[in-house]
């Protein structure tokens, strides 16, 4: 069983940066793909970024390309999402999720509880 806990969310102003962390426990996620998803009020949950087990492949939604960077430190069992140039439309609950398959095409098996990111203008 993989237990995921997100942290790093908060209230920031447009143009600011935040770094989200996703800490895994219960099992090493070094062989898991991990994705960051977000869900705004009244909207569907969508993928934001994903990273393969060794970091060799990444994926970004068009809306965050050039602003967000996903990375991982398998020694720390942690995946990060660096978010720069934040916009009001980035406001959402951010979730990390892990799966042995590529999380962009396969619904992940394991999910965190989410962390709120609010960007004010």
Return d(Cα 75, Cα 33) in angstroms, integer.
15
pLDDT in tens, 56-77: 999 999 999 999 999 999 999 9
For 21, the enclosing helix (H) or strand (E) is strand 18-25
Burial of 105 (0-12, 13-18, 19+ CB in 10 A): exposed
Burial of 71 (0-12, 13-18, 19+ CB in 10 A): middle
In the predicted model, what is the mean pLDDT of residues 18-45? 97
């Amino acid at each position: 069983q993989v237990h995921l806990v997100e942290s790093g969310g908060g209230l920031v102003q447009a143009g600011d940066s935040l770094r989200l962390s996703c800490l895994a426990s219960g099992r090493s996620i070094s062989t898991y793909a991990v994705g960051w998803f977000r869900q705004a009020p009244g909207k569907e949950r969508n993928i934001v970024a994903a990273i393969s087990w060794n970091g060799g492949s990444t994926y970004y939604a068009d809306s965050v390309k050039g602003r967000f960077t996903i990375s991982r430190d398998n020694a720390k069992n942690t995946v990060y999402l660096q978010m720069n140039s934040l916009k009001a439309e980035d406001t959402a609950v951010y979730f990390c999720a892990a799966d042995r398959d590529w999380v962009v095409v396969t619904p992940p098996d394991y999910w965190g509880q989410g962390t709120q990111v609010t960007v004010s203008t």
